[in-house]
Amino acid sequence: MQAEQYALMRQQEEGHWWYRGNRAAARRLLRHFCRELPARRLDAGCGTGKNLEALSGFGEPFGVDFDQQAIAFSRGRGFRHLARGSITALPLADASMDLVTCFEVLYHRGVGDWQQALAEFHRVLRPGGTALLREPAFPALRGSHDVVVHGSHRFRRHEFRAGVERAGFTVLRCSYQNMVTFLPALLIRSWQRWRRTPVGEETADFGKGAGIAGALCSRWLGFEGALLQFTRLPFGSSVVCVARKRA
């Protein structure tokens, strides 16, 4: 992404309902599925560093991102354990992390082989370590936002679960998430395809949604995090997976 897109993303991450709600859901899942407090945590594809900050309390944070601008934004938040590198070849030692998180990165076209990235997450986790992964779901929801942020591959739940298991993980929960955004996203993406947005005129979803409706959506996403501790959801605009490296 361009520097201005990172700047806009950082601004939105502070208060936009989608980011706040998904962070709340992630915290709930980690508290439920982590058997012990992680000592060292990696955010693979750390972007502007907000998730390194938001998941404080879940281990000493380490961040890896391929984009030097992303590293600069993360460093601007005060983080120092940062490295530029690909998530398909992490610059970390075997079994050096207790927790790996990765949010909306595996589907990026720059990743290439997302299965190799999962294998790398497995390699750097210690036995018994946990991975929390969230990616955009359903190819039918692909639209202008994916073009702008260079998103390539949206996942179905069974496909994502199978890939995580092939990497050697035991899946603890794999479910769709963000039910509240599914129908609006489907309608908007269908309209975009019908309208045939000209190449170069695509827009990202940054900045959309605010006010009371946004606050309610944020609370709903946090509630979904509570539900996901015990069951999986039938549909959603994202797919989330919690997995453990076998001890």
Instruction: Determine the 3-state secondary structure of 81 from DSSP.
Output: coil
Number of domains in the chain: 1
Residue 12's Cα: distance from chain center in Å?
15
**Inter-residue contact 25 to 233 (CB < 8 Å):** no
- pLDDT of 78 over the 50 cut: yes
The CATH number of the domain holding residue 66 is: 3.40.50.150
Q: Residue 210 CA to chain centroid, in angstroms?
A: 21
Q: What is the pLDDT of residue 12?
A: 74
Are 94 and 206 a contacting pair, CB within 8 Å?
no
The greatest distance separating any two alpha carbons of the chain, rounded to the nearest whole angstrom, comes to 51
Question: Greater confidence, 20 or 90?
Answer: 90
pTM for the whole structure? 0.89
Q: What is the mean pLDDT of the chain?
A: 88
> How does residue 190 score in pLDDT terms, banded at 50, 70 and 90?
confident
Name the DSSP class of 108.
Answer: B
| Residue spans of alpha helices (H) in the chain | 3-15, 17-33, 50-54, 68-76, 114-124, 144-148, 157-166, 182-195, 211-227
pLDDT digits (tens, 9 = 90+) for 126-172: 999 999 999 999 988 887 767 777 778 899 999 999 999 999 999 99
Query: What is the residue whose two structure tokens read 């992404």?
Result: 1
Average pLDDT, integer, range 26-41 = 94
| Residue-number span of the structural domain to which 199 is assigned | 3-245
Using DSSP, state whether 192 is helix, strand or coil.
helix
Banded model confidence at residue 202, pLDDT cuts 50, 70, 90: very low
* pLDDT tens track for 40-58: 999 999 999 999 999 989 9
